[in-house]
Amino acid sequence: MSASRGSRRGDVDPFIVMEVLERARAAEAAGRRIVHMEIGQPGTGAPEGARRALAKALEQPLGYTVALGLPELRRGIAGLYRRWYGVEVDPARVVVTTGSSSAFILAFTALFEAGDRVALGEPGYPSYRQILRALSLQPVGVPTRSENRLQPVPDDLEGLQVEGLIVASPGNPTGTMLSREALAALVDWAEARGVGFVSDEIYHGLHYGDRAVSALEISQKPWIINSFSKYFSMTGWRVGWMVVPEDQVRRVERLAQNLFICPPHASQIAALAALDCEGELEANRAVYATNRRLMLEGLPKAGFAKIAPPDGAFYVYADVSDLTADSLTLAAEILDGAGVAVTPGIDFDPVRGRQTMRFSYAGSTLDIAEGLERLAAFMAER
């Protein structure tokens, strides 16, 4: 029988961390206890105020909202930029989205023509590449260097012929952040060449020293993408946002109307309330800070000593080239032998990723401590 018809745009690579999660869930279904250090999902739930607001809202019908999101939520997000960064943002420029994933689809569709080339630092979030490919765009990997904290710098970009640049600070999988000067240098490089600049700020709020810098503190031209998934602990609610240049709002609105109709009404109500739950959210961040300290102490004892400096987010990215030439196989061995799920670096860097590994500390402190003990015992016997 001949193969059924399919588009080349659908031939994207798998999201390996999700496949690791699936294998971990299968092991749990078989009766094993697995410590999850693979998934970038907060171990905490949505803030109490968000849950209460939604429970009250359920007394009334929920339906479609306007495509760009509830006006009061857009105003609330604009207020966040005033509080966090001292930046005034017109709420009209705020676009509420179905998670950051739909924000990337909207941004890439609005910014680029089919065939355009878009640069992204490696290691980096793997879905950038796959979303670009699905939209008939060409991802251009930019190998970053340890001396630059595994973040791109203008020298890495010289000679590239690209129409776009994606930058994430704090980064996934590294947790490293760009200083104001380093971020400004990249924004200036892009604007001098007419290159569209997309700033992924989804891990803002999760910092353990200096706060992250928003590209909006530097220029009003970048496209900003953020989400309620990480700092606000609302992954499953699928609600994010963008801040777009003023002259692009109507373009994005037309796309959003047709592609998504609107973000989930229920999630928007919860997100609006979550903006006022700072005390609970900061308590969550304090847990991550404790987990981070445990990781930085425990991973070297388990043999994972070559670590990128994690300034934010909830990840540690380790060079494991002294332990293996194939981190995919090592991750499988760790899951089978130690009952700890970790993510091989091939997800984040298709060239060098077989020599790296990501450890998430988004779970509970007790789980992180147990996972580190298991890792040390397993690696000592390996």
Which domains are seen in the chain, by residue range? 8-45+279-381 (3.40.640.10), 60-276 (3.40.640.10)
CA distance 266 to 73: 12
Residue 148 has pLDDT above 80, yes or no: yes
pLDDT-derived band at 12, boundaries 50, 70, 90 = low
Mean pLDDT value across residues 320-331: 94
Mean pLDDT value across residues 128-146: 96
To the nearest 5 percent, what fractions of the chain are helix, strand and coil?
A: 45, 15, 40
Residue 374 has pLDDT above 70, yes or no: yes
- Angle separating helix axes 71-85 and 265-274, nearest 10 degrees: 30
- Burial class for 12, CB neighbours closer than 10 Å (0-12, 13-18, 19+): middle
Share of the chain above pLDDT 90, in %: 89
Looking up tokens 């700890």 gives: 340
Contact predicate 86/134, CB 8 Å: no
Share of the chain above pLDDT 70, in %: 98
Residue 381 has pLDDT above 80, yes or no: yes
Identify the CA nearest to 30 among candidates 328, 335, 377: 335
What pLDDT, on a 0 to 100 scale, did the predictor assign at position 309? 85
**pLDDT tens across 225-253, in order?**
999 999 999 999 999 999 999 999 999 99
Pairing of strands 94-97, 223-227: unpaired
The pTM score is 0.94
Residue 17 has pLDDT above 80, yes or no: no
Locate all alpha helices (DSSP H) within the chain, ordered by sequence. 16-29, 48-57, 71-85, 99-111, 126-134, 154-157, 180-192, 249-259, 265-274, 278-301, 327-338, 365-381
User: In this predicted model, which residue has the larger pLDDT, 135 or 381?
Assistant: 135
Contact predicate 299/316, CB 8 Å: yes
pLDDT-derived band at 115, boundaries 50, 70, 90 = very high
Per-chain mean pLDDT for the chain: 95
CA distance 125 to 108: 15
- Burial class for 191, CB neighbours closer than 10 Å (0-12, 13-18, 19+): middle
- DSSP 3-state of 26: helix
**pLDDT tens across 162-176, in order?**
999 999 999 999 999
